[in-house]
Amino acid sequence: AIIRDPEILPPVDYLICESTYGNRLHDPITQAMTELAEVVNEVWKKRGKLIIPAFAVERTQELVFYLHLLHDEGKIPEIPIFVDSPMAVNATSIFRTHPECYDDETRQKFLDHHENPFGFESLTFVTSTEQSKRINNSEEPAVIISSSGMCEGGRILHHLANNIDNPRNTILIVGFMAQNTLGRRLADREREVKIFGTKYPVKARVKIINAFSAHADYEEIKVWTRRLDRDRLKGVFLVHGEPDAQTNLKEVLEKDGVRRVEVLKAGEAVEL
């Protein structure tokens, strides 16, 4: 959404490909923005907090970008938005100083109007622990974007512990959550979770939006591989995915004419 699309690879003999979203499709981004606006407005009306676990690099910047668009279009209220992650703050500064990497849409929406896509009046970047604590102690509505994305560490754990048992609040899941993580347990809508060794009832609403993941879905991977030289391509090896996702992506690529699609296992030797 922000960075230019990747260039096509030169002809390759073998391709190692991730398969995280090998059995699902992303929601259209227009639908996702509509849902994001609805969630923000609902939290505002409830006088609650919107807690968004997000990876510090790319996911956080993408969320800030879309919240900025919704703010400029008047589709969300003047609700305070906090990015509470030192790493995300540093990563955002890198995004900000390299506009030559932006795609045409971002350039047209912001740079041509001399605007910073990662800065507007409702947005605050948080670095200090004291400021992070003040956000948790505040009773005012807010949007809090914090890492780690799968809720396995970082400041997001403090925000969840302080807000998960309040029905006025919403936890927004915007990316893939691996098995056996706190993020996955929230996405599976477990009624009770453990944070810092203490059990908390999940009374906050849990909402999932599937469009913001940086992982390509199976249709995007299929289309991307069509742009490779398939006469040269001898095989595709699938990594980084759960079994169901890898099995489905293997079938999708084979049906599309890709030769030798294999799911790799740790420690397995492959003959080329």
Same domain, 181 and 72: yes
So what's the pLDDT on residue 45?
Answer: 98
pLDDT at 113: 59
Per-residue confidence (pLDDT) for residue 112, from 0 to 100: 66
User: Quick one: pLDDT at residue 1?
Assistant: 66
Note the residue count of the chain.
272
Instruction: Judge if 48 and 125 occupy the same domain.
Output: yes
Q: Are residues 21 and 138 in the same domain?
A: no
Query: Token pair for residue 204?
Result: 């906050």
Question: Residue 227: what pLDDT?
Answer: 94
In one letter, which amino acid is 16? I
Q: Are 61 and 165 members of one domain?
A: yes
For the chain, 272 residues long, the average pLDDT of each consecutive 10-residue run is: 83 96 91 96 98 93 92 95 94 89 83 74 93 92 96 96 97 93 97 97 96 87 95 96 96 96 92 90
103 three-class SS: coil
Which one of 193, 208, 223 terminates a domain? Answer: 208
Query: 53 and 2 in one domain?
Result: no
Tell me the residue range of the domain where 124 lies. 29-208
Residues 124 and 171 in one domain: yes
- The CA-based diameter of the chain, rounded to the nearest angstrom, is 61
Same domain, 21 and 37: no
Q: Compute the Cα dihedral for 11, 15, 17, 23 and give only its sign.
A: positive
Q: Say yes or no: 105 and 41 in one domain.
A: yes
pLDDT at 212: 83
Report the distance separating Cα 236 and Cα 218, nearest Å: 14
What DSSP state is assigned to residue 10? P
Q: Are residues 160 and 235 in the same domain?
A: no
Q: Of the residues 208, 227, 247, which one is the last residue of a structural domain?
A: 208
Say which CATH number the domain at 55 has. Answer: 3.40.50.10890
Joined tokens for residue 96: 């900000």
Q: How many domains does the chain have?
A: 2
Where a domain ends, among 162, 188, 208?
208
- Do 105 and 134 lie in one domain? The reply is yes
Do 129 and 170 lie in a common domain?
yes
Whether residues 136 and 249 share a domain: the answer is no
Residue 263: CATH number of its domain: 3.40.250
